[in-house]
Structure 1
Amino acid sequence: MPIELKMPALSPTMEEGTLAKWLVKEGDSVSSGDLLAEIETDKATMEFEAVDEGVITKLLVAEGTDGVKVGTVIAVIAGEDDDSASAPKTAPAAPKAEVAAPPPPAAAPVASTPAPAPATASGDERIKASPLARRIAAERAVDLSQISGSGPNGRIVKQDVEAAIGGASAAPAAPPAASAPQAAPAPKPAPVAAIETDIPHEVVKLSNMRKTIARRLTESKQQVPHIYLTVDVRLDALLKLRSELNASLESRGVKLSVNDMLVKALALSLIQVPKCNVSFAGDTMLQYSRADISVAVSVPTGLITPIVKGADSKTLSVISTEISELAGRAKEGKLQPHEYQGGTASISNMGMMGIKQFEAVINPPQGMILAIGAGEKRPYIVDDALAIATVMSATGSFDHRAIDGADGAELMKVFKELVEKPLGLVA
């Protein structure tokens, strides 16, 4: 019988996506693991692979189509035993209406997408999984029998294995993304009125990422009562230590940035002041025992925040390497959902752009974000005498529903001390 290919849920929160590009055409033969299309989610462009063999008999959604709901049939494959002439006749009618109709009210389509979990079998060969998923599982020692497949007929695909790998390593950070919004449902923002103008202009279509940024930041400022706390931090000792560490790390090809060291300082501060390492979840609060730091990275289509997981327990060299690798893949749109969803706090550094001070918007369900300004030479009191020092301003934005001002102030105090006496970052 013909196999319907449906728009997959490439992240836990994905409800719709853009079919950016088809990598096959009607009449092409495909095998399990072949790449079929590129799909743009709210944060990245991801590849969609085949999980069955057959011939593409019909592409039901055109390239560049926006707002394709998860679960919508986007193509039909005729299996090896199918009559190729009959395959297109069995599937197009319903999908065409589904694609052409105006977007229906949100109805949690993600829940309907995953197929039943593959039945546990006596041998791995009886588990339905694509060759690519099997290879990744073998390399990472993942038990396929413990994974539910989201492909046709419950087939396990690459995204399922990667999600399992990411879920295992990010267990403490995963719950807030699901629990916080359920506890406090977000009201839909009022529609923005169309703008009529005689000023020469062009209309620029918003990417899915830009739409998501607009929606989430609006919700954050509407729902989260922000409190802002700023400290001036002397950087001279940290800059000296960075220079010494880079000299010793040169043979390993590692070069620490100031931001790498500030990520470590924020992570340790959250562990020392656990009342700030939290998420507000309605009538409960999530208290984290690990500091997963989201690092704001500017990309051509907007802003994305890849996560350094367990930054409090990682060395500076490991943090530096991870941030460099994550930022590179973020700019290429290659991050997997588990690499940018979650986190317990964020850091946004605009110092390299010469910005002296700013107040960042909290990224829910996180409880705080740290905004870093430029380090500059300033008059400063050193040992009760006026001197010239390299000083930066750091501003913490805190969710006042979960974090009291005194606790936020304690976190900023600890952060300042760690930066000004930076040997604690390598102890």
Structure 2
Amino acid sequence: MATTICMPEVLTGVTEAAIATWLVAIGQQVEVGTPLAEIETDKAVVEYASETAGTVLELLVAEGVGVAIGDAIVVVGAAGEEVRESGETPDAALAPVTGDEPASPQAGDEPPVPDAAPTRTAPAPVPTTDAAAPAPVPTTDAAAPAAVPPVRRFVSPLVRRLARERGIDLASITGTGPNGRIVRRDIDGVDAATSAAAYSATDALPAAQAEASGPVGRSEEYNEIPLTGMRRAIARRLTESKTTVPHFYLVADCRVDRLIELRREVNEASSVRISVNDFVLKAVAGALRAVPDANVTWGESAIRRHRDVDIAVAVAIDGGLVTPVVRGADRLSLSEISTVVVDLAERARAGRLKQHELEGGSFAVSNLGMYGTKEFSAIINPPQAGILAVGAARKTAVVDADGGLAVGTVMTVTLSADHRVLDGAVAAEWLAAFTRGIEHPLSLLI
């Protein structure tokens, strides 16, 4: 019996996705685990594997067409199995639907027969004057111009989001993808002038409307930026976190003079460039290994203590941010951490992260030090237990071990902890372990 496979919820909170690329063809034999398609969302391109064995009988969605989560996308069954009662071909199923085409009459339905003499409702009586009122002129539908059916443009969710953010009018873009689909390379070459012209046409307030509104107390001119799917997801998730997760915060100042000097020496000897953030990730992983009670996540019926140390890293992208996960960070060297983070960040900005790379992790790191931010507090990404906000390393007055004043390099970090899973003493123990690692960086290399 044929099995209809529906669009999966590849990422939490995503309500719509598109088939970026079909990896199978009609008539192809697939097994459980065979990649069926690359599914594109606002955040990433996810490879989806089949959960059913059989032969691909139908591809119900064309590449680049967005569909809702739960809608049918492919039919898998026995070779030669009939899946339609009508003679519709697979190509018809892949054709875009404009939504303005009249529905085909069903077999046995009789077409409506117009009345031989249509009747008109008499108009309500109108008070008359001595002057004769002109008779109303009847109008007919024949004079109305025929509606022009809209042209369906194949646009992936990622391209649609980038076009909105850049103010690009997709009607003027010619797609070079399959079936004329507009892909990212088609909009990357559009200049800022085109974007500005597109936005000015939609954001400018008409003069007549401004005059009709009358004088106001003060002028409030602004441009409305349409909400993207990613921005809606960020708003929903972080609002949920701040309203349902009991945050508490711990702050520490870390002396990083030794770390900066060690980083300089390592970069002189290594072909892989090591950043301060790589040391931070290594110290976070070491602290989670030293304090296993902090390597936990919240569950509805139990607290999960994880054996592996997986850390999410906040990466800023166009229109928002994503948090890909570095797996087994405690087992990776500094150069390996650097390589993994650079790869994840590059693919995050290109929208090419996979589903498993965005899921999991018990802890997260958000670093705004490169922007000169002294310190800040980050919002936890449930069900993770905490997130470390890292500020900029700066020169400041410090007190040496002998009690004298000196100039030192200090980095302020703020731990946001979930009080459902972390008590104050456990969070303080973890932060102390992290600080030791940062201030004695040679221990991170052992």
Structure 1 residue aligned with 2:328, among 268, 287, 310?
310
SS at match of 1:327: helix
CA deviations 1:137-178 (Å, max 9, x no partner) are xxxxxxxxxxxxxxxxxxxxxxxxxxxxxxxxxxxxxxxxxx
Q: Residue type of the partner of 1:226?
A: H
- Please show how residues 171-182 of structure 1 align to structure 2 within 5 Å: none
Structure 2 residue aligned with 1:415, among 434, 438, 441?
434
Aligned to 1:99: none
Aligned to 1:43: 43
Offset of 1:81 from its aligned partner? 4.6
Q: Residue type of the partner of 2:224?
A: E
Sequence identity percentage: 39
Offset of 1:239 from its aligned partner? 0.8
Q: Are residue 394 (structure 1) and residue 413 (structure 2) matched?
A: yes
- Please show how residues 241-252 of structure 1 align to structure 2 within 5 Å: 241-249=262-270
Structure 1 residue aligned with 2:253, among 228, 232, 252?
232
C-alpha contact (below 8 Å) 2:296/2:385 kept by paired residues: yes
- Please show how residues 70-81 of structure 1 align to structure 2 within 5 Å: 70=70, 72-74=71-73, 81=80
C-alpha contact (below 8 Å) 1:38/1:48 kept by paired residues: yes
Aligned to 2:445: 426
Q: Residue type of the partner of 1:232?
A: D
Aligned to 1:272: 290
Instruction: Point out where structure 1 has 5 or more consecutive residues left out of the alignment.
Output: 97-196
C-alpha contact (below 8 Å) 1:17/1:40 kept by paired residues: no
Q: Are residue 281 (structure 1) and residue 281 (structure 2) matched?
A: no
Q: 2: CA distance between counterparts of 1:426 and 1:268?
A: 11
- Please show how residues 216-365 of structure 1 align to structure 2 within 5 Å: 216-249=237-270, 253-365=271-383
Q: Cα RMSD between the aligned structures?
A: 3.6
Q: Are residue 206 (structure 1) and residue 224 (structure 2) matched?
A: no
Q: Are residue 87 (structure 1) and residue 109 (structure 2) matched?
A: no
Flag the 1:49–1:289 CA change in 2: closer, same or farther, 3 A.
closer
Q: 2: CA distance between counterparts of 1:414 and 1:76?
A: 53
Offset of 1:419 from its aligned partner? 0.8
Offset of 1:410 from its aligned partner? 1.7
Flag the 1:283–1:55 CA change in 2: closer, same or farther, 3 A.
closer
Aligned to 2:425: 406
Q: Residue type of the partner of 1:73?
A: A
Offset of 1:4 from its aligned partner? 5.1
Q: Are residue 17 (structure 1) and residue 16 (structure 2) matched?
A: yes
Aligned to 2:200: none
The aligned length equals: 312
Q: 2: CA distance between counterparts of 1:402 and 1:42?
A: 31
C-alpha contact (below 8 Å) 1:346/1:368 kept by paired residues: yes
Offset of 1:39 from its aligned partner? 3.1
Offset of 1:415 from its aligned partner? 1.1
Larger radius of gyration: 2
Flag the 1:19–1:242 CA change in 2: closer, same or farther, 3 A.
same
Offset of 1:243 from its aligned partner? 1.3
Q: Residue type of the partner of 2:228?
A: L
Instruction: Point out where structure 2 has 5 or more consecutive residues left out of the alignment.
Output: 98-218
C-alpha contact (below 8 Å) 2:27/2:79 kept by paired residues: no
Offset of 1:3 from its aligned partner? 7.8
Q: 2: CA distance between counterparts of 1:367 and 1:47?
A: 28
Q: 1: CA distance between counterparts of 2:393 and 2:328?
A: 27
Q: 2: CA distance between counterparts of 1:35 and 1:326?
A: 21
C-alpha contact (below 8 Å) 2:55/2:79 kept by paired residues: no
Flag the 1:278–1:22 CA change in 2: closer, same or farther, 3 A.
closer
Offset of 1:283 from its aligned partner? 4.7
Flag the 1:415–1:37 CA change in 2: closer, same or farther, 3 A.
closer
Offset of 1:233 from its aligned partner? 0.8
CA deviations 1:210-268 (Å, max 9, x no partner) are 3222221111111111011111111110011111112221xxx3111110110010111
Q: TM-score, normalised by structure 2?
A: 0.61
C-alpha contact (below 8 Å) 2:361/2:384 kept by paired residues: yes
More helix by proportion, 1 or 2? 1
C-alpha contact (below 8 Å) 1:297/1:303 kept by paired residues: yes
Flag the 1:244–1:21 CA change in 2: closer, same or farther, 3 A.
closer
C-alpha contact (below 8 Å) 1:315/1:426 kept by paired residues: yes
Q: Residue type of the partner of 1:69?
A: I
- Please show how residues 137-148 of structure 1 align to structure 2 within 5 Å: none
Flag the 1:2–1:241 CA change in 2: closer, same or farther, 3 A.
same
SS at match of 2:316: strand
Offset of 1:32 from its aligned partner? 6.4
C-alpha contact (below 8 Å) 1:375/1:392 kept by paired residues: yes
Offset of 1:325 from its aligned partner? 1.3
Offset of 1:8 from its aligned partner? 3.5
Q: Residue type of the partner of 2:255?
A: R
Q: TM-score, normalised by structure 1?
A: 0.64
Q: 2: CA distance between counterparts of 1:218 and 1:23?
A: 36
Q: 1: CA distance between counterparts of 2:284 and 2:354?
A: 24
Q: Residue type of the partner of 2:361?
A: G
C-alpha contact (below 8 Å) 2:46/2:355 kept by paired residues: no
CA deviations 1:167-200 (Å, max 9, x no partner) are xxxxxxxxxxxxxxxxxxxxxxxxxxxxxx9744
